[in-house]
Structure 1
Amino acid sequence: MGNKQGKDGKSKSASDKKYKLDQDTIKKLQESTNFDKVEVKKLYETFSDLSQGGKVPLNRQQFKDGLVKLEQCGLKNLDNSPFGDRLFDLLDTNKDNTVDLQEFVGGLSILCKGTVEEKLELSFKAYDLDGNGYITKNELSQMFQQAWISGFKALSYQTNEEVNRDDLNNFSEEMAQIFAEGAFTSLDVNGDGKLSFSEFKQFALSHPKITATLNGSKKDVPITFD
């Protein structure tokens, strides 16, 4: 038995998969973000494909699947960012453990087309894991570790080289602690053992990065949103 044919000659299952996009919603999203109409429409389509036609918000895995598709929308791929897991938490502004359409498009608007100051503020929130308004040396180290891990994973994929997970975690943790120690010494101007936004801002404006190396191949990973 084959699929039923629709009026346009396409199979019913194929026509059902294409969700109807609400033009009023597209207009409102365009007005409230930095995206143009084409970009908003593509992001809306991506969200709809992942969320049963936009009927339900995205869970963490669906959100990650959405990041992979950003390049298809003409935007930069944020899936390879060390902030992949943190992004979900940052964009979930109402803290209900899901990301709805407004949070999805609005958050990506800052990441892809936001001002320098907006990206700095989001970078600071990414590092401030407990949300207390300051970054500790341990928080800095944890985020640096994720940067190294993402760099090595990208290199492993590019070079088709296997990387032992335990070795990767141990090395990344060691390098992150060393890097965080050095960074904190120069960044913690007032010596109070934590970084304020203004102290972090000086670090972020220097466009910091880590360089992962695997069998002669190198991968630079930005460690703030740029």
Structure 2
Amino acid sequence: MTRSEFANTFAMLPNSVFVEQMFDLIRKSEAETISFRELLDLLVIFAKGDAEDKLSLMFKMYDITKTGQLGRDRFKLMIRSVMEGLNHSLNTDKLGQLVESMFERGGFIEQKSLSFEDFMSLMKSNLNDIESACLVVKGIV
């Protein structure tokens, strides 16, 4: 499945941040395509995974350097992509304010990056929403 086919499967734009990051994360080879198995592994996480499984996937999607740290810019990119997925958009100023507010409420205002544990702590107030999050496959209700 190509990136464009992947995006079409979920009724998203091929150049959306979410599609680009998710496709690159689940692709195990250097090929420009993903296998059915790779797609199925992703769908299982969203169908049967709990909030921690989904947050772990999101963290890995944006920890592209694989350092176990998610910098503020990468966190902002993640929030922007989630908003895109929900068909919402925030201008750069509003996005910055939202991220700063989240870091402040979580007690991370002085931190430049988050570990996975910090990320989980920051997202804990949204666990019920995350638990119920799913990917909608185009054509399936």
**Does the TM-score normalized on the shorter chain lie above 0.5?**
yes
Q: Is the 8 A contact 1:135 1:194 kept in 2?
A: yes
1:147 equivalent among 44, 60, 82: 82
Q: Tell me, yes or no, if the aligned pair for 1:141 and 1:180 is still in contact at 8 Å.
A: yes
Q: Which amino acid aligns with 1:200?
A: F
2:7 counterpart of 1:64: yes
**CA–CA distance in structure 2, aligned partners of residues 87 and 125 of structure 1:** 9
Q: Give 2:118's match in structure 1, choosing from 199, 202, 205.
A: 199
**8 A Cα contact 1:137 1:193, kept in partner:** yes
> Compared with structure 1, are the counterparts of its residues 224 and 192 closer, same or farther at alpha carbon in structure 2 (3 Å cutoff)?
farther
Instruction: Within 5 Å, give how 1:70-89 maps onto structure 2.
Output: 79=12, 83-89=18-24
Distance change >3 Å, CA 65–CA 104, structure 1 → 2: same
Q: Does the CA contact (< 8 Å) of 1:142 and 1:176 recur in 2?
A: no
- The answer (yes or no) to whether the contact 1:149–1:172 under 8 Å persists in 2 is no
Task: For residue 67 of structure 1, report the CA deviation from its aligned partner.
Answer: 2.3
Query: What is the count of residue pairs matched by the alignment?
Result: 130
AA aligned to 1:84 is: V
Structure with the higher fraction of residues in helix conformation: 2
1:16-39 Cα distance to aligned partner (Å, 9 max, x none): xxxxxxxxxxxxxxxxxxxxxxxx
Tell me if structure 1 keeps the 8 A contact 2:18–2:85.
Answer: no
CA RMSD of aligned residues (A): 3.2
Question: Residues 96 and 105 (structure 1 numbering): CA distance in 2 closer, same or farther, change over 3 Å?
Answer: same
Contact 2:70 2:113 in 1 (8 A): yes
CA distance change for structure 1 residues 112 and 201 in 2, over 3 Å: closer, same or farther? same
Question: For the residues of structure 2 that align with 1:225 and 1:137, how far apart are their CA atoms?
Answer: 25
1:90 is aligned to 2:25: yes
Shift in Å at residue 187 of structure 1? 3.4
- The one-letter code of the counterpart of 1:115 is D
* Larger Rg over CA atoms: 1
**Paired residue type of 1:62:** E
Matches within 5 A, 1:3-22: none
Q: How far apart in 1 are the matches of 2:104 and 2:63?
A: 18
Q: Which has the higher contact order (CA 8 A, sep 6+)?
A: 2
Q: Which runs of 5+ in 1 are unaligned?
A: 1-57, 69-78, 156-167, 209-221
Closer/same/farther in 2, CA of residues 125 and 59 from structure 1, 3 Å limit: same
Q: Is contact 1:86–1:126 with CA below 8 Å preserved after alignment?
A: yes
- Segments of structure 2 that go 5 or more residues without pairing to the other structure are 134-141
